[in-house]
Amino acid sequence: MSKGPLAGLLVIDLTRVLAGPYCTMVLRDLGARVVKVERPVRGDDARAFPPFIEGSGDSGYFITVNRGKQSVVIDFKTGAGRDLLLSLIDRADVLVENFSPGTLERAGMNPIELASRNPRLVVARLSGYGQTGPDRDLPAYDITIQARAGLMALTGPEGGEPVKIGSAISDIAGGMFSAIAVIAALYERSLSGQGQIIDVALFDASVALLENSVVRRTLGGLDPKPIGQRHPSITPFDGFACADGTIVIAAGNNDMFVRIARALGHMEWCHDNRFRDNASRTEHHAQLKTAVESVLREYPVAHWLDVFRREQVPCARIQSIDDVLHDPQVMARGMMAVYRHAPSGREFEVVASPLQGFSRTREPTPLVAPDLGQHTDIVLTDVLGLSAERIAALRASGVLG
């Protein structure tokens, strides 16, 4: 039984690939029971995405965002399958879907009608451009959303071509915002007794990530462009070359700049008119970077990490994924977990949930992703109370794949 803060909630998950499954993964990490309804034979498209576990063909991609869920196969394009799914939704607290707008309606499951059947139901609809607007029907992938939302226009080396952010940030942001919206709707339901329908767009979520870039344009009259590691309005806030690599250091205020100057043995920088305050340092960022790197190049990154940490200067090595896997803080916080794949006997590390810091309702990261249809019988028995004979008949008719 779950111990998480969302324990006791039933989530019906009609999502696939990344953004939607990320939302329901967060809900599962917080203790909800997530029933993932998949189509027969193929299931979630992500089951066919590499890397694969040798000897089984199971997808590491799928495992990453579907841990702890229960998989049920229902062909809800059939009348009997649709009725079966509706019966599950009638008993659910949350329904999450990321079909193209209009798909749910065409399948005979209009969210307004679902709400009339189950007034306490929270329906989260996640799509590329949302349920409204002139482009609601456009197909979308993370890279196209990143491009259109302006994220790529801010990312890349100074003077270079825009590039996409390394992770699928638009999908992940959409999934996170959807999970937040679901939890907010559940709280409101606890007061009103009524569920509601939520419309979240990957495009909206990505535009929301532009942070201060919009006001730099609308208020400051600037045209934000890629500037590499440097911050556009805080200096020094950048990557700097050392004898054997790059260190990132950041001075969010004048006191931190004094610490940097002291650590590097150049307190005179604090009295230099070019560097006297953040505005001046930002205006003369190139000169300051040259001065800082002339000192940093004398010693390796490890040396400067020690020096800056003694001065309480925010700093970091640019780490590879291998570095992250062995980072002492990652290990101390339990942010990696060992996934044990029973069919193959293979063990490998996966990222654990960051949502484990609850003092009373801590839910350990679920570490098993479901096989396709693995929990069909269990869910239909537990949730709907169907007999073994009824389930066998549904399976024989093809409704359960």
pLDDT of residue 92: 98
What pTM did the predictor assign?
Answer: 0.92
Q: How far is CA 245 from the centre of its chain?
A: 30
- pLDDT tens-digit map of 230-262: 999 999 999 999 999 999 999 989 999 999 999
Domain residue extents for the chain: 10-209+353-396, 237-319
- pLDDT tens-digit map of 291-343: 999 999 999 999 999 999 999 999 999 999 999 999 999 999 999 999 988 88
Handedness of CA 215, 218, 222, 227 (dihedral sign): positive
Of 3.40.50.11890, 2.160.10.10, 3.40.50.9100, 3.40.50.10540, which CATH number belongs to 10-209+353-396?
3.40.50.10540
- pLDDT tens-digit map of 48-86: 999 999 878 899 999 999 999 999 999 999 999 999 999
Q: How many Å apart are CA 399 and CA 384, to the nearest integer?
A: 16
Average pLDDT over residues 150-154: 94
Average pLDDT value over all residues in the chain: 94
**pLDDT > 70? residue 104:** yes
- pLDDT tens-digit map of 349-381: 999 999 988 889 888 888 889 999 999 999 999
pLDDT of residue 1: 67
Q: How many Å apart are CA 304 and CA 4, to the nearest integer?
A: 42
CA distances from 68 to 29, 56, 148, 166, 226 (A): 8, 19, 34, 26, 39
How many Cβ atoms from other residues are within 10 Å of residue 137's Cβ? Answer: 12
Indicate if 285 belongs to the active site: no
**pLDDT > 80? residue 2:** no
- pLDDT tens-digit map of 7-55: 999 999 999 999 999 999 999 999 999 999 999 999 999 999 999 998 7
**What class does CATH assign to 237-319?**
alpha beta
Ramachandran assignment for 244, one of left (phi > 0), alpha (psi -120 to 50 degrees), beta (any other) = alpha
- pLDDT tens-digit map of 134-145: 999 999 999 999
Query: Residue 108 contacts by C-beta under 8 Å, 6 or more apart in sequence?
Result: 82
CA-based nearest residue to 375, from 43, 120, 30, 6: 43
How many Cβ atoms from other residues are within 10 Å of residue 131's Cβ? Answer: 16
pLDDT of residue 67: 93
- pLDDT tens-digit map of 183-222: 999 999 999 999 999 999 999 999 999 988 999 888 988 8
Average pLDDT over residues 101-112: 93
What is the maximum span of the chain, computed from C-alpha positions, in angstroms?
A: 84
